[in-house]
A and B are shown apart, each in its own frame.
Chain A
Amino acid sequence: MTMHFLHFNRLNGIVFFSSWSAILFLIIPSANAEYADVVLNKYAESAGMRPVIYPHWFHRIRFRCKVCHSELGFEMRAGANKVTMAEIIDGKFCGMCHNGEIAWSVEYCDRCHSGLPGLKSGIIGDNETSGPGRW
């Protein structure tokens, strides 16, 4: 009798925890953008455009970090770069490649200006640490 009772308790625990973990998994929207995605919204939304989403994962398949962070002059700190459309059209920053030759040109506004309204500038850190505090 006692054994049965204990057995039940353990099963009950399994039922309880696994159903809750499953329910939490399903209910909590697992809206995880890709690690190292950058939101650029210093100027975009105040100028009536969607914020820019920059995916590191896409770019690092094609270019090593040093290409943008050394040659193109991007500071390695989210929010530290004053990237304006005027400069991009001038061929600086994104405009080094996004000129219609290496990558799509500035006329495809919505491919970069693709973020949800109201996003804050910054970088998406890891799901466990949420990135270092200062990002």
Chain B
Amino acid sequence: MPEKILFKLAYILLPFVLIMIGLSVYSAEQSKWLPLANDGLHDPENVALQALQNPREALSVLPEDYIGNKVHWMKALDEGFIQPRTSFNESTSVVVLDLDIIMKRTGEMPLVLFPHRQHTEWLDCKNCHNRIFKMEVGANPVNMFSVLQGEYCGRCHGAVAFPLTECLRCHSVARNKFKGNFGAQYKNKAHEKDVRQLSEKVEKL
């Protein structure tokens, strides 16, 4: 019976299969944080590579993610794993703004929640305002075509911040569950006043 022989053969091959599965998992693990000498960018003949830190040494101790650098950078910052400096000159003003924006024109996708807090931890107001985003709700024709072309959010997301494969990290608010007003989510009158004062200041820069 040829089928019977093949069936037996399949069982003989089973350990081989398991080994291969193991190997693929292992090689996937090895392909993250490649040593500089074989990352396809650095010249392995460059002796100065020895003086440079390899990514695995620095990144493997930070909170994990499954994309990008395989590091959850926001968690690393918030939880104090890293303490990057906020300014070069002492006189530079460092602003962190806590203000969520809800964007409504998202088609069939959940609404986008843009948190200023997380963004201003890293960036300065004028990195985005007013060159990339106008400080006015509804004034920015953000759409995924532009974002995928590296405009608007795509300036950073897909290149240095988490990539554009992670749809639901931005499209995070279910449309039918959101009952408030779209746009800026002020906490109270005083908060609104502070934000307006700040935006006037940024406008002048």
CB within 8 Å of B: which residues of A?
A: 1, 4-5, 7-8, 11-12, 14-15, 18-19, 21-23, 25-26, 29-37, 39, 50, 53, 55-58, 60-67, 69-72, 76-78, 96, 108-111, 114-117, 119, 123-126, 128-129, 131-135
Q: How far is the CB of B90 from chain A (nearest CB, A)?
A: 11
In the assembled complex, 18 residue pairs joining A and B whose CB atoms fall closer than 8 Å, in A order, are A15-B17, A18-B20, A21-B24, A22-B21, A25-B31, A35-B67, A57-B71, A65-B122, A69-B127, A70-B127, A115-B41, A115-B42, A125-B159, A125-B163, A126-B158, A126-B164, A132-B154, A132-B159
Interface core residue of A39, A57, A124 (most chain B CB under 10 Å)? A57
Q: Which residues of B contact A72 (CB under 8 A)?
A: 88
A71-B155 in contact (CB<8A) = no
CB within 8 Å of A: which residues of B?
A: 3-4, 6-7, 10-11, 13-14, 16-17, 20-21, 23-24, 27-28, 30-34, 36, 38-43, 46-49, 51-53, 55, 58-59, 67-69, 71, 73, 82, 84-89, 92, 94, 121-124, 126-127, 147-151, 154-156, 158-160, 163-165
Known: A8-B7, A57-B58, A126-B164. Contact between A132 and B158, CB under 8 A?
A: yes
Tell me the complex Cα distance, A134–B159, Å.
10
Q: Which residues of B contact A19 (CB under 8 A)?
A: 16-17, 20
A76-B155 in contact (CB<8A) = yes
With A18-B20, A128-B165 given, name 15 new contacts (CB 8 A).
A22-B24, A25-B23, A31-B34, A33-B34, A36-B68, A60-B73, A65-B122, A66-B122, A66-B127, A69-B124, A108-B51, A115-B42, A134-B151, A135-B150, A135-B158
B163-A66 in contact (CB<8A) = no
A71-B40 in contact (CB<8A) = no
B160-A18 in contact (CB<8A) = no
Q: Which residues of B contact A35 (CB under 8 A)?
A: 67-69, 160, 163
A110-B47 in contact (CB<8A) = yes
Q: Which residues of B contact A1 (CB under 8 A)?
A: 3
Q: Which residues of A contact B59 (CB under 8 A)?
A: 57
B3-A4 in contact (CB<8A) = yes
A129-B127 in contact (CB<8A) = no
Tell me the complex Cα distance, A21–B22, Å.
11
Q: Which residues of B contact A66 (CB under 8 A)?
A: 86-87, 94, 122-124, 127
Q: Which residues of B contact A65 (CB under 8 A)?
A: 122-123, 127, 160
Q: Which residues of A contact B164 (CB under 8 A)?
A: 126, 129, 132
B6-A8 in contact (CB<8A) = yes
Tell me the complex Cα distance, A93–B160, Å.
19
Tell me the complex Cα distance, A131–B155, Å.
10
A134-B150 in contact (CB<8A) = yes
Tell me the complex Cα distance, A31–B94, Å.
38
